[in-house]
């Protein structure tokens, strides 16, 4: 049984700019709270590449290991969560919208911990989705300054 999480963020930047920012794996720490991402196999920009994301504070948190299963710039990147805790599929989509784009981040995840995970999911969902939405303003700002000297 999988559960869908989804967040949509409208961004006043071209589709290719949004794509370059959201798929800059190491830079995701700038807009995803308490998360550090590294490419651990491949180039991070092709099917079969693997990335690992640690979410937490100090040494308390969890590691999410993913394999890229679809890479279609600047439209879509699909990953399969292959770690111990998270299983399922994640999708980054960048949809054109007038002069900007809409970033859609969806996750179809299997709750961990069996029955306990399924029962606890209604409590976790709003926190998870709020965390994803909280990154929206920072993501918009990064897209607005992408390509400018730092």
Q: How confident is the model at residue 147 (pLDDT cuts 50, 70, 90)?
A: low
Give the global pTM. 0.91
pLDDT digits (tens, 9 = 90+) for 85-109: 889 999 999 999 999 999 999 999 8
DSSP H helices in 1-96? 15-22
Cα–Cα distance measured from residue 95 to residue 91, given in angstroms and rounded to the nearest whole number:
12
Q: How many residues does the chain have?
A: 150
Cβ(107)–Cβ(89) below 8 Å:
yes
pLDDT digits (tens, 9 = 90+) for 2-35: 888 889 999 999 999 999 999 999 999 999 988 9
Q: Where do the domains of the chain lie, and which CATH numbers do they carry?
A: 3-145 (3.30.530.20)
Give me the pLDDT at residue 95, please: 98
pLDDT digits (tens, 9 = 90+) for 72-84: 999 999 999 999 8
Cα–chain center distance at 135? 10
């Amino acid at each position: 049984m999988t559960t869908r999480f989804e967040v949509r963020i409208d961004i006043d930047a071209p589709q290719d700019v949004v794509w370059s920012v959201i798929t800059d794996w190491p830079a995701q720490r700038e807009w995803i709270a308490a998360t550090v991402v590294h490419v651990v196999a491949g180039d991070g920009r092709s099917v079969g590449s693997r990335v690992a994301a640690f979410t937490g504070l100090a040494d308390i948190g969890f590691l999410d290991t993913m394999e890229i299963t679809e890479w279609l710039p600047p439209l879509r990147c699909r990953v399969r969560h292959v770690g111990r805790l998270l299983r399922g599929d994640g999708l980054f989509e960048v949809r054109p919208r007038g002069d900007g784009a809409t970033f859609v981040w969806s996750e179809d995840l299997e709750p961990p911990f069996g029955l306990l995970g399924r029962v606890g999911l209604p409590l976790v969902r709003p926190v998870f989705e709020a965390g994803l939405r909280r990154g929206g303003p920072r993501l918009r700002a990064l897209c607005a300054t992408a390509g400018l000297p730092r």
